[in-house]
A and B are shown apart, each in its own frame.
Chain A
Amino acid sequence: MITASGITKTYKQRGNMLGARAVPALRGVDFAIEKGGAVTFIGESGCGKTTLGRIVAGLESYDGGDIVIDGTPMSSLKPRHREPFFRRIQLIHQDPYSALNPTRTIHQTLAAPLALRAKQTGRGKAWMEERARELLALVGIDPGYVLPRYPHQLSGGMRQRVVIARALTVDPEVLVADESVSMIDVSLRLGVLALLKDLRERLNVSVLFITHDIATARYIGGDGELYVIYRGQVVESGPTEQVISGPVHPYTQSLLSAIPVLHGVERPGPERVVPTEALNEAHPDTGCLFARRCPFRTDRCEAALPALVSDGAQAHACYHPQRRNVIPVEAA
């Protein structure tokens, strides 16, 4: 239902007198989300995954490529005509503390977009009130408790639920969840993740999940597609469970190897891939973007950028793809 092809985005960093330095954030990203589907992007901070989410939600422009929403290419529309399309894609911010206006009650926060909706559909105030309660109940919080309160009176988990309810006021088809639980208490995280999962099933909304925590991706979008993004390029993609259990790109393997092992519950995987260096944006981008950090690099890797090639359901951008068992195994 949403197809993105070859999205590129370059930030101009203010440079010295000799000119600005161009920092590529996205180097041609393709993906598609089905109705009710789940797509996950994982990568380190600065890999471009947040930029991608903001572009898809219409909050940021892109330099190249195109986004097609329900068959309409956004490039064919003037910016102001794109808005109704992008409104169907709502971003759930990472930080539930800054995503709600501290000076407005939850009632006021929900009333504004609902009033807009009521005007569009010719419904009245009573509908707005009813809908506000309905949405809060849908995200699993007590409307009577939450509505008259200010954001600071709610816990992180509740706030994030309010943020989700607010996004639902405009009946979106896609929710873009950017690290949506990283700032919530551990015992409450799974509740919010379960809610997103539940919304997929009940409302048939799609979820574009952006995270650095692959295990949460597995929880929400285990049946969906996983894209591993590195320095603005998708280096591996495929069905989530398949990529997690059988990664072939050394970067994916490094990410999976880095996930802490719950000793006592699980044992470390038989293999482990550790990058030879830390991430450095200044690394040359002539060859494979990961080459400098890759323990398996060859001369070929530094010569030319490998393209994303499909290998059945899974795709990878690596000259030396090799399946490795890096994820922990359950302790017997």
Chain B
Amino acid sequence: MTRTSAPGVRVKDLTVVYKTPAGELPALGGVSLSLAPGTITGIVGESGSGKSTLALSLLNAVQPPGRIKEGTVEIDGLGNVVELTGEELRRVRGRQVGYVFQAAQNSLNPLKTVGKQLLDLGRSHDFDDLPALLKDARALLGRMGLDGGRVLDSYQHELSGGMRQRVGIMFALVLNAHLVVLDEPTTALDMITQAAILKIVRDVHHERGLTTLIITHDMGVAAEVTDSLAVMYGGRVVEHGPTTEVLGAPRHPYTKGLIRAIPRLSGDIDEARALPGRPPTLGTIPKQGCVFRERCPLRIAVCDTVDPEPVTRDARTVACHAVGRLATPVVPKEYV
């Protein structure tokens, strides 16, 4: 039943709500997103954009007080994971979908060696051949530049941040999952360690033939490794397309503003501009109209009342009234 090839993922009209004293508030407001088999997709967004909620939905692992209200998540070979429950769901997690949690550096059990935790994982998934599992783990760790034997005998505190991150990736891959979700894989790591981890992610992705999803707040991280890039804001995917195109010729005003707000090593640094306003939180996402309008330089009357539909043109999807109206595509490099 385990797939040996990269699955595709299709998220459709996904709405996830969180129960609060102020009623049920949508963290995801009807998100549609496809991950092509064998690609690395990045989801970039600020806190409160719904990116982590979206990632959890792929595992149908949204925790109460949140719940998936409507929509489907189709994963090749698994069907609609929103409908899976209990034991079925548990088997899917780890075996089919590997997940590297945010702050994976701190998600190891401090009282057990890495090897012991690996055996626990194998047993909980009814692996008969545990020595083979250990062998795979050693090979994976070795592939990531670590001494596998030593790491498996280590406790969490004996490993550095970068090493723990690699252990997290090993856990996500060792059961042979072909869909891997990495939530903020390099937060709290140094630049040099981050570069090393990103290289590993890319190399392992190609070698094992995976479909990879990377959730990050850092445009640079996404730019470095992803093939395709989705930008989220206020529980919506506002722009999605091939990474170099989205970065090189952003169409949505939020994407443009975000890219312009990143200080870079190349070019004229004084052209960096801050984005006015601040991102919405769960409680302040507008009930109707475009979620970005408060900060938008292109705001027009219709933005106040109608939530823009995502429109796809030449492999790029943008949800913006102002951009949709332009007859010709936006001139590339307008942000410079």
Interchain CA distance A230-B69 in the complex, whole Å: 51
Q: Mark B226-259, 1 if CB is under 8 A from A, else 0.
A: 0000000000000000011111110000000111
> Quick check: is B218 within 8 A (CB to CB) of the other chain?
yes
Distance (whole angstroms) from the CB of B226 to the closest CB of chain A: 9
Q: Are B192 and A218 in contact (CB under 8 A)?
A: no
Q: Which residue of A lies closest to B332 (CB)?
A: A264
| A186-B262, A258-B191, A259-B191 known; A331+B248 contact, CB < 8 A | yes
Distance (whole angstroms) from the CB of A302 to the closest CB of chain B: 21
> Quick check: is A330 within 8 A (CB to CB) of the other chain?
yes
Chain B residue contacts of A327, Cβ below 8 A: 265-266
Distance (whole angstroms) from the CB of A157 to the closest CB of chain B: 6
| A212-B190, A215-B264, A264-B247 known; A259+B274 contact, CB < 8 A | no
> Quick check: is B220 within 8 A (CB to CB) of the other chain?
yes
Q: Are A266 and B194 in contact (CB under 8 A)?
A: no
Q: Select B262's contact among A194, A222, A244, A262, beta carbons within 8 Å.
A: A262
Interchain CA distance A194-B295 in the complex, whole Å: 18
Q: Are A265 and B259 in contact (CB under 8 A)?
A: yes
* A120-128, A142-150, A165-173, A249-257 - interface stretch: A249-257
Interchain CA distance A261-B247 in the complex, whole Å: 11
> Quick check: is A1 within 8 A (CB to CB) of the other chain?
no
Q: Are B192 and A215 in contact (CB under 8 A)?
A: no
A 234-250 contacts with B by CB, 8 A: 244
Interchain CA distance A52-B198 in the complex, whole Å: 30
Interchain CA distance A222-B268 in the complex, whole Å: 11
Q: Are B248 and A265 in contact (CB under 8 A)?
A: yes
Q: Mark B267-284, 1 if CB is under 8 A from A, else 0.
A: 101001111001100000
Chain B: residues with Cβ within 8 Å of the partner, total of: 45
Distance (whole angstroms) from the CB of B26 to the closest CB of chain A: 20
> Quick check: is A107 within 8 A (CB to CB) of the other chain?
no
Distance (whole angstroms) from the CB of A144 to the closest CB of chain B: 17
Task: Count CB-based A-B contacts (< 8 Å).
Answer: 143
Chain B residue contacts of A263, Cβ below 8 A: 223-224, 243-244, 247-248
> Quick check: is A55 within 8 A (CB to CB) of the other chain?
no
| A186-B218, A186-B258, A188-B274 known; A44+B191 contact, CB < 8 A | yes
Q: Which residue of A lies closest to B254 (CB)?
A: A187
| A222-B269, A264-B223, A266-B266 known; A45+B190 contact, CB < 8 A | yes
Q: Select A218's contact among B47, B249, B265, beta carbons within 8 Å.
A: B265
Q: Which residue of A lies closest to B198 (CB)?
A: A260
Chain A residue contacts of B163, Cβ below 8 A: 278
Interchain CA distance A259-B198 in the complex, whole Å: 11
> Quick check: is A329 within 8 A (CB to CB) of the other chain?
yes
Distance (whole angstroms) from the CB of A41 to the closest CB of chain B: 14
Q: Select A260's contact among B47, B223, B257, B259, beta carbons within 8 Å.
A: B223
Chain A residue contacts of B80, Cβ below 8 A: none
> Quick check: is A214 within 8 A (CB to CB) of the other chain?
yes
Q: Are A218 and B223 in contact (CB under 8 A)?
A: no
Q: Which residue of B lies closest to A44 (CB)?
A: B190
B 177-195 contacts with A by CB, 8 A: 190-195
Distance (whole angstroms) from the CB of B159 to the closest CB of chain A: 11
> Quick check: is A74 within 8 A (CB to CB) of the other chain?
no
| A45-B190, A258-B191, A265-B247 known; A185+B278 contact, CB < 8 A | yes
**Chain A interface SS verdict (over half):** mixed
> Quick check: is A65 within 8 A (CB to CB) of the other chain?
no
> Quick check: is B46 within 8 A (CB to CB) of the other chain?
yes
Interchain CA distance A188-B277 in the complex, whole Å: 8
Distance (whole angstroms) from the CB of A162 to the closest CB of chain B: 14
> Quick check: is A328 within 8 A (CB to CB) of the other chain?
yes
| A185-B278, A260-B224, A264-B243 known; A190+B272 contact, CB < 8 A | yes
Interchain CA distance A279-B195 in the complex, whole Å: 13
| A186-B262, A259-B220, A264-B223 known; A219+B272 contact, CB < 8 A | yes
| A263-B244, A264-B248, A327-B266 known; A190+B162 contact, CB < 8 A | no
Chain B residue contacts of A188, Cβ below 8 A: 274-275, 278-279
Chain A residue contacts of B196, Cβ below 8 A: 274, 278
> Quick check: is A102 within 8 A (CB to CB) of the other chain?
no
Interchain CA distance A230-B295 in the complex, whole Å: 41
Q: Which residue of B lies closest to A255 (CB)?
A: B191
Q: Are A260 and B263 in contact (CB under 8 A)?
A: no
Q: Which residue of A lies closest to B163 (CB)?
A: A278
Interchain CA distance A218-B269 in the complex, whole Å: 7
A residues lining the B interface (CB < 8 Å): 44-45, 155-158, 185-191, 193-194, 212-216, 218-219, 222, 244, 254-266, 274-275, 278-279, 327-331
Closest 8 CB pairs of A and B: A260-B220, A264-B248, A264-B247, A264-B244, A258-B195, A191-B274, A260-B224, A190-B274
Interface contacts beyond A186-B219, A258-B191, A278-B162: sample of 6 additional A-B pairs, CB < 8 Å, sorted by A: A185-B47, A215-B262, A256-B265, A263-B224, A264-B246, A278-B160
11 pairs, CB–CB < 8 Å, chain A vs chain B: A155-B278, A186-B217, A186-B261, A187-B274, A218-B265, A260-B224, A263-B244, A264-B248, A265-B247, A266-B267, A328-B266
